[in-house]
Structure 1
């Protein structure tokens, strides 16, 4: 990776690490709005007053959140009405953005090198397993350095 990209990725990983613990939190089956509202012993009417909505409007918001059909703006509004801050983010499945890039680069490099080696075998020019692994590592390093767009195909 070029120095600028490497720095940007390191900074992004630092920010995203804060979300790592949050991924362990399970979303309640009725959604956060309903769970928090009922935990606070707040009625739908009371929350509706804060959002200029009817009791039925709050019920629809709660249902939409539970089914994943609510907008981010509605979640922000509900958070403010509940005196809470709405937080939104992504957590890399493989730990960090850098790990994700490493995995993608290695996978693509392996695919390219093995395909090339297969063609060479057909021409009776196959290379050793050690040389294959070295070639995969070298190509993966090059793909990471260049931050090739082909990593995401």
Structure 2
């Protein structure tokens, strides 16, 4: 089943709402502790490495490797999930866009439209001292730009 533009817009809106809640958290809250989550939680609970290893079905040496791997950003999600389970934790993994998804799509569409318009009418108008900014474009032209650059083509190499 093909995803329609309105379905993608709705998906972006819902995701942007969820991301807004995560963005509202102060950056230190979103960042992993210096030694990584496994070590920090294990130590806070007072669980020795050998006990965590027993719960995970691995040796203490492997727990050291897991903690080091997490702190270095080299641990697989599968390993992190196993450690989380052994620590009675829920694993939460997220990609948090730096700005709303809808804004990213709009900006990309306008970037493509600017290049397209520049290669056509705006160049001629500028030469005639009649330059127009994208902010001044009427809503009908914005709709035409959305049709000219649908979501499916926004990320094609230019």
Q: Which has the higher helix share?
A: 1
Aligned length: 151
Matched, 1:10 2:21: no
1:10–1:128 CA distance, 2 compared to 1 (3 A): same
Distance in 1 (CA, whole Å) between partners of 2:37 and 2:132 is 53
Of residues 97-106 and 110-119 in structure 1, the stretch that sits farther from structure 2 once superposed is 110-119
Instruction: Report what 1:70 is aligned to.
Output: 75
CA contact (8 A) 2:53 2:60 kept: yes
Matched, 1:20 2:23: yes
Secondary structure of 1:129's match? coil
Q: 1:45 deviation in Å?
A: 0.5
TM-score normalized with structure 1 length: 0.78
Q: 1:46 deviation in Å?
A: 0.9
CA contact (8 A) 1:102 1:144 kept: no
Matched, 1:113 2:131: no
Secondary structure of 1:92's match? coil
Matched, 1:34 2:53: no
1:21–1:59 CA distance, 2 compared to 1 (3 A): farther
Matched, 1:102 2:99: no
Gaps of 5+ in 1: none
- What RMSD in Å do the two structures reach over aligned CA positions? 3.2
Instruction: Report what 2:95 is aligned to.
Output: 90
